[in-house]
Amino acid sequence: MAKHRIAVIGLGKISQDQHLPVIDASGEFELAAVVSTRGLSQGGVPSFRTPAELYRAMPEIGIVAVNTPPDVRHAIAREALAAGKDVLLEKPPAATLTELADLEALAEAKKRVLFATWHSRFNPAVEAARTLLAEAGLRSLRIEWRENVKKWHPGQDWVWEPGGFGVFDPGINALSIFTRILPAIPFVRSAELTYPSNRQTPIAAKLVFASADPAAPALTADFDWRETGGETWHMLIETADGRSARLFKGGAALEVDGRVTVEAPSEEYQHIYRHFAGLLDARRSDVDGAPLRLVADAMLVGRRLTTDAFDW
């Protein structure tokens, strides 16, 4: 079967690290063009400064991946859907809930496929954790997601601007797993958001959740971008039947009562593109706003604390 011809919009870190190499090695996709405001090129395919130039010059390209920062994603995705393209969105899929609802509605109206990716969900141990919680019930779950912003977002000033999400940029990855594995819908009960004195987004956040689960499990999250001793991306779980489990390595591994039950290389983006190919073949969209809703709710109920100024 012919490969899907796709254009990648925004050739920043995640496009270079994941999308371009994964498309290059894919049996289902072929890179047809790129759009780069800086004029970067890739693999000899045509490069355009704006999506509009791409759509004019190569109207036959029917699929785009939007890998820009989130605050400009809505306008770019809207333009793509309006031009009749199927669209893959990097996470977070939009800067606001209403922008995401607008994209969903437009995709439906235009009969286009819209895929809001949550890369962390494509880790091998996530479904095993979901099954464990469905079978064993949940007593408590603590998310600990700590990393060094200087290592993971070097010089990316957009993360500190309104719409840039701050520490929720990685935190939403944890929330995408959390909303996938929990047996019942979680709600944000309270949040403590710590802002550097010179920045517009939080560098740390502590969340306490409530849940629709009648067993009322204790649910908390601790996100911090000030970690200098290596990253921690794990969830500590106590099941209702007394087992203790840890989903770790960002969702690539699971241990139950001290024994590793799942551990496999993380191939998040290979799975993303395989899933996208399936959606395109079925002409079906996949848009889940649950992780974005939790971030928005944390901002709605959050208490603001101020800490030292942040500079690169």
Residues designated as active site: 91
Q: How far is the CB of 260 from ligand NAP (least distance, A)?
A: 25
Quote the tokens at residue 170.
């990685």
Q: How far is the CB of 216 from ligand NAP (least distance, A)?
A: 32
Q: Which is nearer to ligand NAP, 36 or 211 (CB)?
A: 36
Q: How far is the CB of 57 from ligand NAP (least distance, A)?
A: 17
Q: Which is nearer to ligand NAP, 51 or 62 (CB)?
A: 51
The reply on whether position 266 binds ligand NAP by CB under 6 A is no
Quote the tokens at residue 21.
């190499």
Sole binder of ligand NAP in the list 4, 7, 12, 211 (CB under 6 A)? 12
Q: How far is the CB of 274 from ligand NAP (least distance, A)?
A: 17
Sole binder of ligand NAP in the list 86, 90, 147, 297 (CB under 6 A)? 90
Query: Which residues from 95-154 bind ligand NAP, rule CB under 6 A?
Result: 119
Total residues binding ligand NAP (CB under 6 A): 19
Quote the tokens at residue 102.
């607008």
CA 28 to chain centre: 22
Q: Which is nearer to ligand NAP, 95 or 181 (CB)?
A: 95
Query: Which residues from 154-213 bind ligand NAP, rule CB under 6 A?
Result: 156, 169
Sole binder of ligand NAP in the list 42, 67, 239, 266 (CB under 6 A)? 67
- The span of 30-38, 191-199, 212-220, 279-287 binding ligand NAP (CB under 6 A) equals 30-38
Burial class (CB in 10 A: 0-12, 13-18, 19+), 139: middle
Sole binder of ligand NAP in the list 11, 63, 88, 181 (CB under 6 A)? 11
- The span of 63-71, 196-204, 214-222, 247-255 binding ligand NAP (CB under 6 A) equals 63-71
Residues that bind ligand NAP (CB under 6 A): 10-14, 36-38, 40, 67-70, 72, 90-91, 119, 156, 169
